[in-house]
A and B are shown apart, each in its own frame.
Chain A
Amino acid sequence: MAVLEMENKTLELDADGFLANIDDWNEDVAKVFAKEEGIEELTEQHWTVINFMRDVFKEKGDAPSIRRLTKESGVNTKELYALFPKGPAKKAARIAGIPKPKGCI
């Protein structure tokens, strides 16, 4: 089982390299994941997306679709892709500490 080494503890990752337990997540974990994805600094807009994804996951058990994300979070499609250039769906979910999104849209 892959793990993420943090300063004071070791966190379990799932087969996709996403956090295995959503409750292990905190802002420091997000920052470590972001660096791995090539995002040096998480801006306020990044946090808006991250928090929205976590809220939807807690409510529905899956990440929001890009459509819902852009309609309801206040971050539009262009901004979203600029924030997560390597693909917003998976990257943002990983940074947000939720499992890999299951949806197609």
Chain B
Amino acid sequence: MAIEKVSIVVSRGSLEGVYPGLIMANGARMEGIEATLFFTFFGLDAIIKKRMDNLSVATVGNAALRLPGGMKMPTVMGAIPGMSSFVTHMMKKEMDKIDIPPVGEFIEMIHDAGGELYACKATVDMFHLGMKDFCPQVSDIISVGQFYEMSENAEIIFT
């Protein structure tokens, strides 16, 4: 049976943590599949106005990170000041080449395509946030119970 609806949870706030969920949500809409995005924990950074276009790649504790040429990046190198912003800059440049938009533009695109965006209530309470902190594409702050209600007949994807 063809997939008709997806509910995607974005739980991480690094650049590489946020993009897979956004790409999957946008890709779903491109295929005519309904898409709901639920941002939780540090994933909320992707919808916080002041932070969304300022996410960075984690260069510490990222075992798969490699230097140009393919050698693994030693953990201490990842901790050098400026390394994270350098790697982030490089990755954003490569993404732009293949037409992946910056987070803010991507969120707007997904929303205009009919995708829905929600923030997790528990995290909002924990971090003392409110609707005023979020980009206008966010529909509401919802509980996990509401998330499951909304996800009836949907495939739930956790990222």
Contacts and interface: CB of A to CB of B under 8 A. Distances in A.
Interface of A: 65-68, 70, 76-78, 81, 85-91, 103-105
A68 B30 CA distance: 14
A86 B32 contact: yes
A98 to B, nearest CB: 15
B101 A87 contact: no
Contacts of B114: 81
B69 to A, nearest CB: 26
Interface in B57-83: none
B25 to A, nearest CB: 12
Given A66-B109, A81-B112, A81-B113, A105 B31 contact: no
Nearest to A65: B99
B12 interface: no
B26 interface: yes
Contact of A89 (B30, B98, B112): B30
Contacts, number: 45
B31 A104 contact: no
B109 A85 contact: no
Interface in B98-112: 98-101, 108-109, 112
Contact of B33 (A68, A78, A87, A103): A87
B112 A87 contact: no
A89 B27 CA distance: 9
16 contacts: A65-B99, A66-B26, A66-B113, A68-B99, A77-B112, A78-B113, A81-B112, A81-B114, A85-B32, A87-B30, A87-B31, A87-B32, A88-B30, A103-B98, A105-B26, A105-B101
B6 to A, nearest CB: 13
B15 to A, nearest CB: 16
A103 B32 CA distance: 16
Contacts of B99: 65, 67-68, 103, 105
